[in-house]
Amino acid sequence: MGDYTPSEMMIVAAARALAGVRTVFVGVGLPNIACNLAQRTVAPNLELVYESGVYGARPRRLPLSIGDPALITGALSVCSMADLFGLYLQGGRLEVAFLGGAQIDRFGNLNTTVIGDYAHPKVRLPGSGGACEIAIHAKQVFIIMRLSRRSFVERLDFLTSPGHLSGRGERERLGMPGQGPQLVVTDKCIFRFDAETGEMVLVSLHPGVRLEDVRAEMCWDPRVSSDLTETEPPTPEELRLLREELDPLGVYRS
């Protein structure tokens, strides 16, 4: 096992999933750094799109938020949020969107609204932002979340952003244009979704992680792919970019 953290493995795995992708809708935090890493490695033609209204960002330093001034300097276009959501997103121009959440279920539905009852929450979370419509419209949704029993739950407290809903083609029946969640990258493993049932399937374990480690962090017993593989560890170049260029302060890597 090499010298890297589970978070670094997670960011690198998420970045690699963007190989060949042209347009990605970037979220706050981990997706932000994964997309910026992808642009410097596997997807040099990747256009970063931010819900703040930025298309084709070329940030010279890692943006601290989706509204960071570094995203505007040198971007291809900066537009109103009406244009961003109406023309780019609802217009069907975005290939991949990264999302995350406080809770996810086996069908990739996400909760970013409340833990507990809506009217009297145990924890009030930020809410949708653009996630609800992004989850509906992006051609593919990639999810990046740390694996834990608190997050990978049997039943969401609140469904903010639809994944495959109850599975088995429910998205299609409801006329949603995007294909929904295709990938979940965690700090321990990678899941994809069964094309027929819409359920999460474990496809890859990060180096050093055992199947029981994954099961211990989930509230349901996950389906496991018949050709379960081991994730390729980060290369020295990926780690160098992460540590020296993208996140020198280690905000996202710990």
Partner 1 sequence: MSKLTTMREAIAAYVHDGDTVAIEGFTACICFAAAHEIIRQGRRDLVLCRMTPDLVYDQMVAAGCARKLVFSYLGNPGVGPLHAIRRAVEKGIPNPLELEEYSHFGMVARYIAGAYRLPFFPLRSYVGSDLPKVNPRIQFVESPYGDGPVAVVPPLNPDVAIIHAQRADVHGNTQLWGLLGAQKEVAFAARHVIVVVEEIVDEEVIRSDPNRTLIPGLIVDAVVHEPYGAHPSYVQGYYDRDNDFYLRWDEISRDEAATRAWLEEWVYGVRDRAEYVEKMGRETWERLRPTQAWSKPVNYG
Residue 204 makes contact with partner 1 by CB under 8 A: no
HEC profile for the chain?
CCCCCHHHHHHHHHHHCCCCCCEEEECCCHHHHHHHHHHHCCCCCCEEEECCCEEEECCCCCCCCCCCHHHCCCCCEECCHHHHHHHHHCCCCCCEEEECCCEECCCCCEECCEEECCCCEEEECCCCCCHHHHHHHCCEEEEECCCCCCCECCCCCCCCECCCCCCCCHHHHCCCCCCCEEEEECCCEEEEECCCCCCEEEEEECCCCCHHHHHHCCCCCCEEEEEEEECCCCCHHHHHHHHHHHCCCCCCCC
Question: Is residue 154 among the annotated active site residues?
Answer: no
User: Hey, which residues between 31 and 60 contact partner 1 (CB under 8 A)?
Assistant: 51-54
Residue 79 makes contact with partner 1 by CB under 8 A: yes
For the window 108-137, what string marks contact with partner 1 as x by the rule CB under 8 A? -x---x----x--x--xxxxxxxxxx--xx
Residue 151 makes contact with partner 1 by CB under 8 A: no
For the bound state, the minimum distance from the C-beta of residue 28 to partner 1, rounded and expressed in Å, comes to 6
Residue 69 makes contact with partner 1 by CB under 8 A: yes
Q: Which is catalytic among the residues 47, 51, 95, 238?
A: 51
Residue 250 makes contact with partner 1 by CB under 8 A: no
Q: Which is nearer to partner 1, 2 or 127 (CB)?
A: 127
Residues annotated as catalytic (active site), given as ranges: 51
Interface residues toward partner 1, by CB under 8 A: 28-29, 51-54, 64-69, 72-74, 78-82, 85-86, 89-90, 109, 113, 118, 121, 124-133, 136-137, 158-162, 165, 170-171, 174-177
